[in-house]
């Protein structure tokens, strides 16, 4: 199984300066390759303490210069907030700088504060995402961006530096709702699983995604990548105590940032699934929702953590696991210990397990595409 790590740059409670958070998170990222992690990931968010990584590709470009072999993953680039032409240039440049190590993760966003900050109608996000993703993926294959749609119109323009390696076979998308899973099948991209719902629901939606993908694309779907908020300790009691404190604390920041309990979510086009989450929050209460989220994640002793990740594989057939080891104001020393213990005790066993295909199955692009892009 492929094993990666993610840094998310949270400043929960503003206990530290933003600079101190960055120094700590960058130190964790620097530890990844020496410890044996096979990929480094980060996220994209704006305007709040929730996560302070407004440009995930810029962060990955920085890490490209500090590493040799690890893959570099976006979890995710939120397409509706960007000009697809610029995204194409940025990811192509990162791929050139890193020697083709990028894993492209895409999403459409769900934070009202971010859509408002960018002066965008959140109710248009699904349509924008589909248009932008089609334009981006086609452009990266051809070396030329060209699109004429409802939201995005791009006259022919070459991507320079031109892509030299296909992004088909190494592009994934976050899909929380069943509708999004169907869209990803049509786009021909893999799924990035961020645990937020019962695993039996995820398993059911994956089966439908796999069926649709095969029907539309004439081939089996790529295996998903699963992320998880991770806490490992030799003591099962301490692991649970800290998981409820920090993983639970992380979900409090999710609820605050995304405003899932807010009235707006009920009437926003394309967020019908989130409206159901809103109803459940009001029905069960915040504390039960927090405990439920924590139980979906990966915590325990090394043996328990390994078994939980293998249980996720049995339900999802994921070929990769990406652990988040620092979140919700966790002390940096605790995050370092958490990550090191995982790397020493859990990761070697995961890497021995044959989980299936590699997370990057992309081939090189033929030279004639460079010429086409330059015309």
Question: What's the maximum distance between 2 C-alpha atoms anywhere in the chain?
Answer: 64
Query: What pLDDT sits at residue 367?
Result: 77
DSSP structural state of residue 14: G
Q: Which parts of the chain fold into alpha helices (H)? A: 18-35, 56-64, 84-98, 112-117, 125-142, 178-187, 199-217, 236-242, 248-258, 272-284, 286-296, 302-316, 332-341, 347-352, 368-374
Contact 39, 4 (CB under 8 A): yes
Q: Which two tokens stand for residue 218?
A: 């004439």
Q: Which of 19, 97, 2 is nearest to 57 (CA)?
A: 97
Structure-model confidence comparison of residues 261 and 236, the more confident one: 236
pLDDT band at 178 (very low <50, low <70, confident <90, very high): confident
State the Cα–Cα distance between residues 316 and 40, nearest whole angstrom. Answer: 22
What mean pLDDT do residues 192-202 have? Answer: 94
How far apart CA 176 and CA 39 sit, in angstroms, is 23
d(C-alpha 104, C-alpha 91), whole Å: 8
The answer to whether residue 276 scores a pLDDT higher than 90 is no
Please compute the mean of the pLDDT values over residues 281-286 and round it to a whole number.
90
Closest CA to 247 of 200, 296, 182, 304: 296
pLDDT tens digits, 203-238: 999 999 999 999 999 999 999 999 999 999 999 999
* pLDDT attached to residue 171: 98
Check whether 371 has a pLDDT greater than 70. no
User: What pLDDT does residue 374 have?
Assistant: 47
DSSP character at residue 270: T
Query: Does residue 337 register a pLDDT over 50?
Result: yes
Residue 373 has pLDDT above 50, yes or no: no
Question: How far is the C-alpha of 319 from the C-alpha of 351, rounded, in Å?
Answer: 10
Res. 282 pLDDT band, cuts 50 70 90: confident
Residue 198 has pLDDT above 50, yes or no: yes
Write out the two tokens for 189: 């991209």
For 364-375, what is the mean pLDDT? 62
Whether 13 has a pLDDT exceeding 90, the answer reads: yes
Give the other-Cβ count within 10 Å of 245's Cβ.
15
Side-chain-side CA neighbours of residue 60 (13 Å): 37
Tell me yes or no: is domain 2-374 CATH 3.20.20.30.
yes
* Predicted TM-score of the model (pTM): 0.97
Confidence of residue 177 (pLDDT cuts 50, 70, 90): confident
- Who contacts 106 (Cβ-Cβ below 8 Å, separation ≥6)? 74, 76, 77, 79, 129, 133, 136, 171, 172, 173, 174, 189
Q: List pLDDT tens digits, range 117-166.
A: 999 999 999 999 999 999 999 999 999 999 999 999 999 999 999 999 99
Q: What is the pLDDT of residue 375?
A: 53
């Amino acid at each position: 199984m492929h094993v990666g790590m993610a840094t998310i740059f949270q400043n929960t409670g503003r206990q530290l300066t933003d600079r101190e958070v960055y120094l700590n998170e960058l130190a964790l990222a620097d530890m990844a390759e020496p410890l044996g992690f096979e990929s480094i990931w980060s996220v994209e968010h704006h305007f709040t303490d929730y996560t302070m990584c407004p440009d995930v590709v810029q962060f990955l470009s920085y890490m490209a210069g500090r590493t040799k072999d690890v893959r570099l993953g976006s979890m995710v680039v939120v397409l509706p907030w960007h000009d697809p032409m610029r995204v194409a240039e940025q990811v192509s440049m990162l791929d050139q700088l890193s020697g083709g190590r990028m894993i492209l993760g895409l999403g459409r966003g769900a934070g009202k504060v971010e859509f408002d900050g960018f002066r965008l109608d959140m109710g248009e996000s699904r349509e924008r995402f589909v248009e932008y993703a089609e334009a981006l993926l086609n452009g990266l294959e051809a070396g030329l961006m060209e699109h004429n749609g409802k939201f995005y119109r791009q006259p022919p323009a070459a991507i320079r530096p031109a892509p030299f390696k296909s992004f088909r076979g190494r592009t994934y998308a976050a899909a929380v709702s069943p509708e999004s899973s169907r869209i990803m099948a049509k786009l021909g991209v893999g799924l990035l699983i961020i645990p937020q719902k019962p695993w039996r629901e995820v398993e059911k939606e994956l089966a439908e995604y796999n069926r649709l993908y095969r029907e539309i694309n004439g081939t089996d779907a790529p295996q998903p990548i699963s992320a998880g908020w991770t806490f490992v300790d030799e003591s099962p009691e301490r692991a649970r105590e800290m998981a409820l404190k920090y993983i639970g604390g992380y979900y409090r920041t999710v609820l605050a940032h995304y405003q899932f309990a807010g009235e707006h979510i009920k009437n926003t086009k394309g967020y019908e699934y989130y409206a159901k989450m809103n109803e459940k929050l009001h029905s069960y209460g915040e504390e039960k929702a927090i405990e439920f989220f924590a139980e979906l994640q990966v915590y325990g002793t090394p043996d328990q953590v390994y078994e939980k990740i293998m249980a996720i594989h049995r339900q999802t057939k994921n070929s990769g696991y990406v652990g988040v080891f620092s979140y919700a104001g966790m002390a940096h020393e605790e995050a370092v210990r958490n990550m090191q213990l995982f790397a020493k005790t859990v990761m070697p066993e995961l890497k021995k397990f044959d989980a299936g295909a590699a997370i990057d199955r992309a081939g090189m692009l033929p030279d004639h595409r460079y010429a086409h892009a330059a015309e």
